Amino acid sequence: MGDNVVDFSSRQEDKKHKRKEEKFDALQKRFEKALPIDETDPKKKLLKIFKKKK
């Protein structure tokens, strides 16, 4: 009897997490299009974005 039990909440959480990752990737692509930066290191990328331009 216990073999046929399906845990819907864990499947829902997995789908929810996957959607969040997809939204994050889409948002990240939008930002990269808006502010193209050739830097590959994520920390340096952030610093470059938020530094004041003279």
- 15 or 37, higher pLDDT: 15
> Which is higher by pLDDT, 37 or 50?
50
Q: What is the mean pLDDT of the chain?
A: 81
| Model confidence at 37: pLDDT above 80 | no
Q: CA distances (Å), 49 to each of 6, 25, 46, in order?
A: 46, 18, 5
Q: How would residue 34 be classed by pLDDT, with cut points 50, 70 and 90?
A: confident
Host domain of residue 13: 7-50
40 assigned to some structural domain: yes
Phi-psi category of 7—alpha, beta or left, where left has phi over 0 and alpha has psi -120 to 50? beta
Q: Report in angstroms the alpha-carbon separations of 21 from 7, 12, 17, 44, 45.
A: 22, 14, 6, 22, 20
Q: What is the number of structural domains in the chain? A: 1
Percentage of residues of the chain with pLDDT beyond 70:
80
**Structural domain includes residue 1:** no
